[in-house]
Amino acid sequence: MAEQAFQVDLRGVVDLLSRHLYSSPRVYLRELLQNAVDAITARGAGGRVRIETGGGVLRVHDDGVGLTEDEVHRLLATIGRSSKRDELGFARHDFLGQFGIGLLSAFLVADEIEVVTRSAKGGAAVRWVGLAGGSYRVEPGERDEPGTTVSLRARQDAGELLSPPVVRELAAAYGSLLPIELTVDGEAVTGDGPPWQGSYPDPARRRRALDAYCKELFGFEPFDVIDLDVPEAGLTGVAFVLPQPVAPSARGAHRVYLKRMLLAEGVEGLLPEWAFFVRCVVDAGELRPTASREALYEDELLESTRDALGDRLRQWLVRLSETDPARLRGFLRLHQLGVKAMALHDDDMLRLVDRWLEFETSAGPMTLAEFRRRHPGARYVTSVEEFRRLSAVSAAQGVGLVNGGYVHDTEIIERLPAIDPEIALRPLDAAELTTHFGVLDPQAELALRPFLAAAQRAVERLGCEVVIRDFDPASLPALYLTSRAAQHRADMAEARELAGDLFADVLGALQGAVQADRPQLVLNHRNPLTRRITALAEDGLIELAVQGLYGQALLLGHHPLRAADTAVLNRSFLGLLEWAVHSPEAGR
Ligand SMILES: Nc1ncnc2c1ncn2[C@@H]1O[C@H](COP(=O)(O)OP(=O)(O)OP(=O)(O)O)[C@@H](O)[C@H]1O
């Protein structure tokens, strides 16, 4: 059987392009512009692209290399064929296009494409008309100079897209940095090229110009401007540091030009994920676009470019710390979350965080380096609650405490030995604190035995143990301390209460295996109220008072309240109230 050629349903292909490849029919202008620029590049001399609008018709004139009649048949009318690939099918380096489908995007806005062209290689002018239905015709054309004019008449629903203001806007967006002369209806679109490559009389003026550029593009005054340069990717550009905090999850959307033609305004994946505090504008000669030309093609070059750009931002930060600490602090106040995230993987950043970033400590906000210097035995806790509970008491015992409860903080603290093995910031187990508290002298201790026994009875059912110690701050009547092991035990006991019989046995066996202290209610002998309570003689009143202290210690320490705790708290409150207001006749 004879071999047959594929048939292509052009409408189907155009539909595919518009629905699945391009995000918007606006790309039609980019594709025409790109072809004109490539034709000029192919001709080898600087050239000019003129776009004319009006009356629902768009014309794109270029003085590029043009096409011979033979090329018209071969290139314009064959989908997927391009003059911009070499014999092996690789994209030729100098050109923007490569896939051989771009011209079809004109069918997104028009039913008919007319190309009048004359080749620089000689031969007569040719007129080619392609129809969205899938047919084309070629006839003699009229044109004196080499070059090409592509004309489209807007389809009914696409009038807006071919209207003068929209065409001007699209031409400016895609083409304003092109290294050729581009006009729309006689008005210049291209100017002096990328602003970061322009020449300025002095650095201050350059900075002002870039600030203004950033304001125009992104709508903010940058905190700083970082020059970018990655030779292997032919990349130059600038990173604008955001003047406001952003969520680390915010997608880093950058404005990317490839060979001076805009790829897209919201390109992702150009920078490492942690670099969410900058917005970049770059032009790259070597990075590749995806077929839609709306994103970067993920390859090794893009990966190494990303690393190089990340390095550049890192250097900027390190340099800032050396030359302008006040500014660095300003930056860190804005973007500390990002910097902390970087510090988890990067020793330079970790050093920077250690030296410059303020953490919450028992001595107020302070850098970790400074805090270690002042409090050699400093400890940290891993939750904000624990910090609130313990920082005052701990500091009063001379044990400096760092709050490791915020995002990344504990991981950062635990990673510190990576930059200096001498650094020892150990976690604090609350139960340890009692070892810093003063014990009473044996005489006083002995005298308090009957009170302690009554106090213990008052909270026995609640599973805690009453001790009495002498500690600062004196204003604190009582402290409820759970060690990690005690916490675990309490959780188990609760689980057992909730679990069915069989499972309760298993949990019971487990619980037996965990040898742990019970949580402690530490009464502060230094506190005047507590001291008066220890002197009470009446058992009933001791019970109410100790239960009151217990409840207050739980509340103060932000400990979760179990049902039994709430009941006890209520009972003691009402009991004490009753006692306070009971009628004088009953006698005090
Ligand atoms: N203005 C022009 N001047 C000269 N040749 C052109 C012009 N426009 C299109 N061509 C020729 O038609 C071919 C097909 O163009 P088309 O835009 O479909 O694909 P492409 O530019 O090669 O690749 P891409 O799909 O990536 O844009 C081009 O390779 C080029 O040879």
| Distance of CA 298 from the midpoint of ligand 1 (Å) | 24
Ligand 1 contact via 102 beta carbon (within 6 Å): yes
Retrieve residue 308's tokens.
């190089």
What phi and psi values does residue 571 have, to the nearest 5 degrees? -60, -45
Q: State residue 62's pLDDT score.
A: 97
**pLDDT band at 173; cut points 50, 70, 90:** very high
Query: Which of 81-85, 109-113, 128-132 comes out lowest in average pLDDT?
Result: 81-85
Atom of ligand 1 at shortest range from CA of 82? 29
461, pLDDT greater than 90: yes
| Distance of CA 288 from the midpoint of ligand 1 (Å) | 17
Residues 340, 336: Cα–Cα separation, whole Å: 6
When pLDDT is averaged across residues 27-55 and rounded to a whole number, the result is 93
Q: State residue 518's pLDDT score.
A: 83
The number of helices, as runs of H, and strands, as runs of E, in the chain is 18, 21
List pLDDT tens digits, range 508-531: 555 544 445 788 999 999 999 999
Ligand 1 contact via 190 beta carbon (within 6 Å): no
| Distance of CA 254 from the midpoint of ligand 1 (Å) | 27
Ligand 1 contact via 146 beta carbon (within 6 Å): no
Smallest CA separation from ligand 1 atom 31, residue: 83
Smallest CA separation from ligand 1 atom 7, residue: 35
Atom of ligand 1 at shortest range from CA of 104? 18
Distances (CA, A) of 426 to 236, 380, 394, 416, 420: 46, 6, 14, 11, 14
Is 527 annotated in a binding site? The answer is no
* Substitution candidate for ligand 1 out of 21, 81, 103 with most atoms within 8 A of CB: 103
| Distance of CA 102 from the midpoint of ligand 1 (Å) | 7
Q: State residue 223's pLDDT score.
A: 96
* Substitution candidate for ligand 1 out of 82, 116, 138, 180 with most atoms within 8 A of CB: 82
When pLDDT is averaged across residues 335-350 and rounded to a whole number, the result is 86
Contact 237/196 with Cβ under 8 angstroms? Answer: yes
Which residues, other chains included, contact 258 with Cβ-Cβ below 8 Å and sequence gap of 6+? 96, 283, 284, 285, 287, 288, 289
Residues 60, 94: Cα–Cα separation, whole Å: 21
Is 403 annotated in a binding site? The answer is no
Atom of ligand 1 at shortest range from CA of 36? 1
Residues 169, 173: Cα–Cα separation, whole Å: 6
Q: State residue 205's pLDDT score.
A: 97
What phi and psi values does residue 232 have, to the nearest 5 degrees? -65, -25
Contact 124/139 with Cβ under 8 angstroms? Answer: no
| Distance of CA 35 from the midpoint of ligand 1 (Å) | 5
Atom of ligand 1 at shortest range from CA of 65? 4
57, pLDDT greater than 50: yes
Q: State residue 280's pLDDT score.
A: 97
Give the count of beta carbons closer than 10 Å to the beta carbon of residue 198.
13
486, pLDDT greater than 70: no
Ligand 1 contact via 98 beta carbon (within 6 Å): yes
What phi and psi values does residue 422 have, to the nearest 5 degrees? -70, -25
Retrieve residue 431's tokens.
């139960």
What phi and psi values does residue 332 have, to the nearest 5 degrees? -65, -35
When pLDDT is averaged across residues 357-378 and rounded to a whole number, the result is 93
Give the count of beta carbons closer than 10 Å to the beta carbon of residue 105.
22
Is 62 annotated in a binding site? The answer is yes
**pLDDT band at 339; cut points 50, 70, 90:** confident
Ligand 1 contact via 100 beta carbon (within 6 Å): yes
Ligand 1 contact via 77 beta carbon (within 6 Å): no
Distances (CA, A) of 507 to 201, 486, 492, 504, 577: 78, 15, 7, 5, 40
Q: What angle do CA 149, 155, 157 make, to 5 degrees?
A: 140
Smallest CA separation from ligand 1 atom 1, residue: 36
Please provide the DSSP assignment of 11-59 as one string: HHHHHHIIIII-S-TTHHHHHHHHHHHHHHHHHTS--EEEEE--TTEEE
Of residues 107 and 2, more confidence is placed in 107
Q: State residue 515's pLDDT score.
A: 44
Atom of ligand 1 at shortest range from CA of 147? 3
When pLDDT is averaged across residues 537-549 and rounded to a whole number, the result is 94
For strands 235-241 and 224-230, give the pairing: antiparallel
Retrieve residue 118's tokens.
């004359």
Smallest CA separation from ligand 1 atom 9, residue: 35
487, pLDDT greater than 70: no
Ligand 1 contact via 367 beta carbon (within 6 Å): no
- Arithmetic mean of pLDDT over the chain: 89
For strands 136-140 and 48-52, give the pairing: unpaired
| Distance of CA 100 from the midpoint of ligand 1 (Å) | 6
Ligand 1 contact via 105 beta carbon (within 6 Å): no
| Distance of CA 88 from the midpoint of ligand 1 (Å) | 18
Distances (CA, A) of 529 to 437, 510, 521, 554: 18, 40, 16, 17
Q: Alpha-carbon dihedral of residues 213, 218, 222, 224, nearest 10 degrees?
A: -80
Residue 168 burial (10 A CB sphere; 0-12, 13-18, 19+):
middle
501, pLDDT greater than 90: no
Nearest to 107 by CA among 74, 76, 126, 130: 130
Nearest-Å Rg of the Cα atoms of the chain is: 38
Ligand 1 contact via 31 beta carbon (within 6 Å): yes
335, pLDDT greater than 70: yes
Ligand 1 contact via 119 beta carbon (within 6 Å): no
Q: State residue 342's pLDDT score.
A: 82
Peptide bond into 473 cis (omega under 30): yes
Atom of ligand 1 at shortest range from CA of 62? 1
Ligand 1 contact via 36 beta carbon (within 6 Å): yes
Alpha helices, H only, 344-479 = 347-356, 368-374, 384-396, 409-415, 442-447, 449-459
Please provide the DSSP assignment of 61-117 as one string: EE-S----HHHIIIIITSTT--TTB-TTSPBPTT-S--SS-GGGGGGGTEEEEEEEE
Highest mean pLDDT among 252-261, 383-392, 490-499: 252-261
Smallest CA separation from ligand 1 atom 6, residue: 35
Smallest CA separation from ligand 1 atom 10, residue: 35
Ligand 1 contact via 258 beta carbon (within 6 Å): no
Count CA atoms closer than 13 A to 337's CA, side-chain side.
Answer: 13
What percent of the chain is modeled with pLDDT above 90?
Answer: 62
Contact 100/81 with Cβ under 8 angstroms? Answer: yes
Q: State residue 371's pLDDT score.
A: 95
| Distance of CA 2 from the midpoint of ligand 1 (Å) | 32
When pLDDT is averaged across residues 484-501 and rounded to a whole number, the result is 65
Q: State residue 484's pLDDT score.
A: 66
Biggest CA-to-CA distance, the chain: 126
Q: State residue 101's pLDDT score.
A: 84
Ligand 1 contact via 69 beta carbon (within 6 Å): no
Ligand 1 contact via 39 beta carbon (within 6 Å): yes
Ligand 1 contact via 82 beta carbon (within 6 Å): yes
Taking each helix axis from N to C terminus, what angle separates 300-323 and 347-356, rounded to the nearest 10 degrees? Answer: 30
Q: What angle do CA 339, 341, 346 make, to 5 degrees?
A: 80
What kind and span of H or E run contains 129? strand 126-131
List pLDDT tens digits, range 233-254: 999 999 999 999 887 667 778 9
Look-up of token digits 């790309």 = 27
Three-class SS of residue 558? coil
Ligand 1 contact via 63 beta carbon (within 6 Å): no
Is 148 annotated in a binding site? The answer is yes
What kind and span of H or E run contains 140? strand 136-140
When pLDDT is averaged across residues 345-367 and rounded to a whole number, the result is 91
Which residues, other chains included, contact 422 with Cβ-Cβ below 8 Å and sequence gap of 6+? none
Q: State residue 458's pLDDT score.
A: 95
Residues 134, 58: Cα–Cα separation, whole Å: 21
